[in-house]
Structures are given as structure tokens and as C-alpha cells.
Amino acid sequence: MSAANFLLTLSCPNQPGIVARVTAELFAHGGDILEAHQFDDSETKRFFTRIVFSLPASSNARDLFTSFGPIAKGYHMEWALRSREDRRKVVLMASKFDHCLVDLLYRWRIGELKMDVVGIVSNHPRETYDVSSQEITILNN
């Protein structure tokens, strides 16, 4: 049985105990945290976190989603939980340095970035990022 990877993102008013409560819930469902980042915005007094974790195949992600709802409500969270396998639709926007755009497109083509590029907004000539084999809308200045 292999584990599945998930991504949890959330923000809420900052208060003590958020990390402890969130990670305890992940642990209760067999979750193993692979990566975690957090940030407190002192101006807005909001807490933000992004947690990548795995669940064993024997766990049900739907159960975690359901049990997390009351926690999120109690902390007034805006949150999202999704599988890391879900591909995101993205629009790439680039100006000045074409090497950044070329790098993103290369990583996308080799499968390193799990996303569907649906458009590019750029002031570079089309030849900069030869995408003839893909269906992408390109808007140039």
C-alpha cells in the first residue's frame, strides 16, 4: 500500500494553538508531514500555512476533510485541501527576462511542474518559448 500526498493551505486570525490543533488532526488520520511553511502577518494579525503531507492508503481523505471542517470553523479559517496529483490550470505572465519563462516551460514539459498551462502573457517574441507542440494561448504586446 502506498501513501497519497496532499496539500493543505489555510489562513485565519492569528492565535495560539493553531499549528498544534491542525497537526494533531493530521496525525489522528495517519498523516505524515513532508513539508510545512507558516507565516504571521503582524499588520493584519493573520496566520498563514501551507502543509504537504501524506496519508497511508488505509486512510480516507474524505474523512479528514469532514473532520477538519469543525476545526476550521472554530478558528475562522479559509482553507483548501487537495491531492498533490491534481493538476492546476495556470496562466504564465513574464516580462523582461525570458529565461524565467523558458525555465518554467521546460520544467512543465518534463513533468516536474504538475500544471496545465492554458495561456502565456508576455512581451517576448513567440520564438522565445517554442510551444508549437502544445495548445497554449499566447498574448504578446
> Is there a single domain that holds both residue 79 and residue 108?
no
- The answer to whether 126 and 138 have CB atoms below 8 angstroms apart is yes
pLDDT of 102 higher than 70? yes
Would you state the torsion angle of the CA atoms of residues 72, 76, 82, 84, taken in this order, to the nearest 10 degrees? -100
pLDDT of 132 higher than 60? no
DSSP of the chain: ---EEEEEEEEEE--TTHHHHHHHHHHHTT-EEEEEEEEEETTTTEEEEEEEEEE-TTS-HHHHHHHHHHHHHHTT-EEEEEETTSPEEEEEEE-S-HHHHHHHHHHHHTTSS-EEEEEEEESS-GGGG--TTS--EEEE-
Among 1-5, 105-109, 134-138, the range scoring the smallest mean pLDDT is 134-138
> Is there a single domain that holds both residue 78 and residue 92?
no
> Is there a single domain that holds both residue 73 and residue 136?
no
Residue recorded with cell 504537504: 52
Give how many domains the chain has, as a whole number.
Answer: 2
Write out pLDDT tens, residues 25-75: 999 999 999 999 999 999 999 999 999 999 988 888 889 999 999 999 999
Q: Could you tell me which residue, 92 or 23, shows the higher pLDDT?
A: 23
> Is there a single domain that holds both residue 60 and residue 129?
no
Q: Which of 83, 100, 115 is the last residue of a domain?
A: 83
Q: What CATH number does the domain containing 15 carry? A: 3.30.70.260
Residue 113: give the domain boundaries: 88-140
Write out pLDDT tens, residues 70-99: 999 999 999 999 988 888 889 988 876 667
> Is there a single domain that holds both residue 14 and residue 76?
yes
